[in-house]
Amino acid sequence: MKRIMILSAAAFVLSACCSQPKFEGPVYLNPNAHVEERVEDALARMTLEEKVGMTTAQSKFSSRGVPRLGIPEVWHTDGPHGIRPEVLWDEWDQAGWTNDSCTAFPALVNLAATWDKEMSLLYGRSIGEEARYRKKDILLGPGVNICRTPLNGRNFEYMGEDPFLAGAMVSPYVKGVQENGVAACVKHYAVNNQEFQRTQSNSVVDDRTLHEIYLPAFKAAVQEGGAWSIMGSYNLYNGQYNCHNKKLLVDILKGDWGFDGVVVSDWGGCRVSEEAILNGLDIEMGTWTNGLRGAASDSYRNYHMADPYLKGLREGKYTTKELDDKVRRILRLIFRTSMRPEPNYGRFVCPEHYQAAREISAAGVVLLKNEDNVLPLKVAEGAKIVVVGENAVKKMVVGGGSSNLKTAYEVNPLEGLQNAFGDKAEVVWVRGYVGDTSTSYNMVDTGQDLTDNRSPEVLIAEAVEAAKDADYVIFVGGLNKSAHQDNESTDRYDTFLPYGQQDVIDALAEVSDKFVVVNISGSPVSMPWEDKADAIVQGWYGGTESGNALADVLTGKVNPSGRLPFSIPFKYEDGPIKTERQYPGIKEEGDQFWQTHYDEGVYVGYRWYDSKNVPVQWAFGHGLSYTSFEYSDAKAAKASMKADGTMKISVNVKNVGECDGHEIVQLYIADPVASIDRPAKELKGFEKVYLKAGETAMVTFEIDAADLSFYDVAKGGWNAEPGEFQALIGSSSADIRATVPFELK
């Protein structure tokens, strides 16, 4: 693996002094100097060729430094859930290292389901430590694209359907990563909400929808999280590729938001040289994603921003204004990461990271239904628990696209339950159905053999027979990371369980009176079999400790506190996507691109269902506990607020059950009378509170005019109209426990 390693400040000084003796005491080498001084000093020493060289890749996952000045390369790595195994210099194939098995953290949708900002900070710190240990400078994540449609193959990599939730959860993650001297690269910017024709899809979105739904999480990452890098997306927005989209990158990101970091192209996302140069792209990666095949002998030198850029500069086609801005940003990132003054060596695959992964995974498990308190499992000595389903044993870390990981180990749900009960109970597994039997992806293999040629009828009969005398039957099914499920580059076909799983559920329900269904997925799965199950649990791709975390919740070691980060409809057709024009888009004769029209506007997820009075199977924010909570005495600190002021809204929450637990108190704002059509309610706050049995706590939210605003297209900015508003406090978008009216003066 080619890599220039600079080990100390002394090495930098020696390099600079030998090549540039006329400069004494260069500021950029002084670790105590202000970053901007170091940037300007280094920039002044660089040649035109060196500046241009920093803007493009030199390998699959690294971009150039300036060896003459001791400025190191920039090393990038997937992904948002763990540190990708090393690949060859010019190819996607694994490099065959034996020391790159990482801690696999839960998928980001699992993190979002915790509704816990402290968990997000823990996640960011932990994965940032792993990235720093592996000497990575940019972590390609987190992803915050909105779950516009439940069919999007990459929903599992994102943080749900609500921009406020995603924004609140992304900021601590970014801060945690960057504490380690690793840049978080928030992706995929922006309006990138489907995998179908992702590189040829033009998102046609009005300004209000763009600013209210699809940009807030990115804005929070930049302005609240302080993100040091952003990744452009493959698609186009309003006719221009997003990796060099002037409105998104120059006008909004770097202009309105004041972003001072680096814009990185998605791999192969840079398409037009002049746009890339002029429209805000800073580092071009992966333009020829098949290594050196199909391009010139040195394809990296032929990238849009490499030799063609240099040629244009020499010929006077471009000035150095844009180039110097790009290089300043790259240098700033380097001085914040690999050349930061504070040494940080990180940690890798350590007990602390395994524990963090387990806690985060368990905190995101959502208890959807619990009839007759069948959960937690109450197991007597010698009891028999029958576990059915391929997802009970299938390892889920491998696959899914660029988030594919090689992990030190992975505990599956069956192993988690066996670990939990030990010799106390007999925990047996029967297959039930055959799904995806593949066990490898990009040369990472789970070592499992899942082949099974028996018919569905035989498999169901076997499961029923085993279940007849069981004390509990636990079906573990759902989706996986194969094509057209939770997977990069393909979208799902529908929202129902694949592989005939409903037939297995129907059969098991007939023979068990303690029947638990655990759905493992990263996207909404409709559940027409809901009434057949005594308890339903929404699990996720929980990473290294997934099985142990799930068992913690099922056994009651952890009282479930996860909440849905998206709505689960009865069927896809109930949602806001009604036409082919909306999704997957239409391609007119002679048109180069698929046109995807966001005609639903701001009515995404619960905004649609609640505003249009369309019932859902499980509401956004829904999740049960093994205890119960009562809300009382909700009030505003005053009856009205001024446009330049704030207001506190409080509610008392009491644990009226018999065990300790967490409640997630959610604040929605409604604007009943407005000059434009607004959703019935919008999430504007949430707090996770821990209460012992019988304990009461006051939960307080503070809101300001921004929380009451809509994006006013006529004004080109945010507008909070004076008048009556309502603060709606509850445990989900459909379970509002208190309404507090107030006025904006």
The pLDDT of residue 6: 32
- Give the CATH number, domain containing residue 267: 3.20.20.300
Query: How many C-beta atoms surround the C-beta of residue 85 within 10 A?
Result: 22
> What is the C-alpha separation between 591 and 593, in angstroms, rounded?
6
Question: Of 319, 336, 353, which closes a domain?
Answer: 336
Mean pLDDT of 514-526: 98
Take residue 638 and report the two structure tokens written for it.
């005053």
DSSP string, 309-348: HHHHHHTTSS-HHHHHHHHHHHHHHHHHTTT-SS------
Residue 595 CA, chain-centre distance (Å), reads 25
pLDDT for the residue 33? 83
Separation of alpha carbons 542 and 222, rounded Å: 27
The pairing of beta strand 594-597 with beta strand 383-388: unpaired
- The reported pLDDT for the residue numbered 340 is 94
Taking the C-alpha atoms of residue 671 and residue 741, their distance in angstroms, rounded to an integer, is 10
Mean pLDDT of 208-229: 98
Inside any domain, residue 485: yes
Q: Is residue 27 part of a domain?
A: yes
**What is the residue-wise DSSP string for 345-373?**
----S-HHHHHHHHHHHHHH-EEEEEGGG
Q: How high is the pLDDT of residue 610?
A: 98
Phi, psi of 737 (to 5 degrees): -95, -20
CATH number for position 458: 3.40.50.1700
pLDDT at site 4: 34
Mean pLDDT of 575-584: 98
The yes-or-no verdict on residue 204 having pLDDT over 90 is yes
112 closest CA partner among 418, 593, 562: 562
Give the mean pLDDT of 534-556.
98
3-state per-residue secondary structure call for 223-236: HCCCCCEEEECCCE
Q: Are 157 and 403 in contact (CB under 8 A)?
A: yes
pLDDT above 50: residue 355: yes
Cβ neighbours of residue 599 closer than 8 Å, sequence gap 6 or more: 579, 581, 582
Is a pLDDT exceeding 80 seen at residue 335? yes
* Residue 600 in domain: no
Angle at CA 251, nearest 5°, toward 245 and 254? 95
- Does one domain contain both 521 and 633? no
pLDDT in tens, 654-709: 999 999 999 999 999 999 999 999 999 999 999 999 999 999 999 999 999 999 99
What is the spatial distance between Cα 175 and Cα 335, in angstroms, rounded to a whole number? 17
Residues 456 and 383 in one domain: yes
Residue that finishes a domain, picked among 558, 584, 606:
558
**Residue 149 and residue 25 share a domain:** yes
pLDDT of residue 298: 67
Give pLDDT, residue 745. Answer: 93
For residues 243 and 268, what is the distance between their CA atoms, to the nearest angstrom?
10
Strand partners, 724: 743
C-alpha–C-alpha distance, residues 168 and 513, integer Å: 41
- Are 69 and 152 in the same domain? yes
Q: Are residues 679 and 740 in the same domain?
A: yes
pLDDT of 5 strictly over 80: no
> Does residue 546 sit in the same domain as residue 398?
yes
pLDDT above 70 (res 286): yes
% of the chain surpassing 70 pLDDT: 95
Strand order of the β-sheet with 646-655 is: 629-636, 646-655, 696-704
Q: What is the pLDDT of residue 296?
A: 61
Q: What is the DSSP string of 481-497?
A: SSTTSS-TT---S-SS-
Are residue 325 and residue 389 in the same domain, yes or no? no
At 631, list the tokens. Answer: 């809300």
The conformation of residue 214, written as its DSSP 8-state character, comes to: I
**Last-in-domain residue among 540, 558, 576:** 558
Query: What pLDDT, in 10s, does the model give residues 45-88?
Result: 999 999 999 999 999 999 999 999 999 999 999 989 999 999 99
Single pTM value for the model: 0.95
Q: Which of 127-136, 295-304, 340-349 has the weakest average pLDDT?
A: 295-304
Same domain? For 184 and 285 the reply is yes
Measure CA of the first residue to CA of the last residue in the chain; give whole Å. Answer: 63
Burial class (CB in 10 A: 0-12, 13-18, 19+), 628: middle
291 band by pLDDT with thresholds 50, 70 and 90: low
What is the C-alpha separation between 228 and 335, in angstroms, rounded? 11
- State which amino acid sits at residue 133: Y
- Which one has a higher pLDDT value, 233 or 94? 233
Same domain, 401 and 278: no
Answer whether 305's CB lies under 8 Å from 327's CB.
no
Would residue 592 count as lying in a domain?
Answer: no
Q: How far apart are CA 47 and CA 135, in angstroms?
A: 27
Helix (H) or strand (E) holding 272: none
Residues, the chain: 745
Helix (H) or strand (E) holding 517: strand 515-520
Q: How far apart are CA 127 and CA 180, in angstroms?
A: 9
What residues contact 702, with CB distance under 8 A and at least 6 apart? 646, 647, 648, 649
* Average pLDDT of the segment spanning 492-497: 98
E-only strand ranges, 87-173? 138-139
Contact 574, 614 (CB under 8 A): yes
**Per-residue pLDDT at 343:** 82
Q: What is the token pair recorded at 698?
A: 């006051």
Nearest to 209 by CA among 593, 683, 721, 710: 710
Amino acid identity for residue 481 in this structure:
K
Question: Which structural domain, as residue segments, surrounds residue 205?
Answer: 9-86+103-336
Q: Which residues, 6+ apart, have CB-to-CB distance to 34 below 8 Å?
A: none
Give residue 545's identity as a one-letter amino acid code. E
Contacts of 256 (CB under 8 A, 6+ apart): none
So what's the pLDDT on residue 20?
A: 42
Indicate the pLDDT class of residue 734, thresholds 50, 70 and 90: very high
- Does residue 323 sit in the same domain as residue 369? no
What is the domain-level CATH number for residue 643? 2.60.40.10
Helix (H) or strand (E) holding 184: strand 183-189
Omega of the bond leading into 211 within 30 degrees of 0 (cis): no
325, 466: one domain: no
Percent of the chain with pLDDT over 90: 90
Angle formed at CA 691 by CA 689 and CA 692, multiple of 5 degrees: 165
Q: Could you please report the per-residue DSSP string of 47-91?
A: -HHHHHHTTBBSSSSEE--BGGGTBPPEEEE--SSSPPPPB-SSS
d(CA 551, CA 285): 41
Q: Could you tell me the pLDDT band of residue 32, with boundaries at 50, 70 and 90?
A: confident
Residue bearing tokens 């009969």: 461
* pLDDT(510) > 80: yes
Q: What are the tokens at 1?
A: 């693996």
pLDDT at 9: 35
CA dihedral 717, 168, 255, 233 (to 10 degrees): -110
Task: Answer whether residue 576 is part of any domain.
Answer: no
Q: Is the pLDDT of residue 384 over 70?
A: yes
Give residue 290's pLDDT. 63
| Band (443; pLDDT cuts 50, 70, 90) | confident
State the total domains in the chain: 3
Report the alpha-carbon distance of residue 37 to residue 332 in Å, rounded.
Answer: 10
Q: How confident is residue 649, by pLDDT bands cut at 50, 70 and 90?
A: very high
Residue 95 lies in a domain: no
Alpha helices in 639-738 (DSSP H): none
pLDDT confidence of residue 442: 85
574 within a domain of the structure (yes/no): no
Catalytic residues: 266
**CA-based Rg of the chain, rounded to a whole angstrom?**
26
The residue-averaged pLDDT of 395-409 equals 94
Arithmetic mean of pLDDT, 16-37: 59
Q: What rounded mean pLDDT belongs to the chain?
A: 94
The 10 Å Cβ neighbour count of residue 707 is 20
How far apart CA 662 and CA 625 sit, in angstroms, is 8
Q: What distances in angstroms separate CA 484 from CA 150, 361, 401, one per listed residue?
A: 12, 24, 12
pLDDT of 2 above 50: no
Query: Averaged over 330-345, what is the pLDDT?
Result: 94
With the C-alpha atoms ordered 363, 367, 372, 374, is the resulting torsion angle positive or negative? negative
Question: Is 460 a domain residue?
Answer: yes
Residue 25 pLDDT:
42
pLDDT in tens, 239-256: 999 999 999 999 999 999
Span 463-488, average pLDDT? 97
CA gap 126, 82 in Å, rounded: 10
pLDDT tens readout for residues 152-183: 999 999 999 999 999 999 999 999 999 999 99
Same domain, 374 and 326: no
Residue 17 DSSP label: H
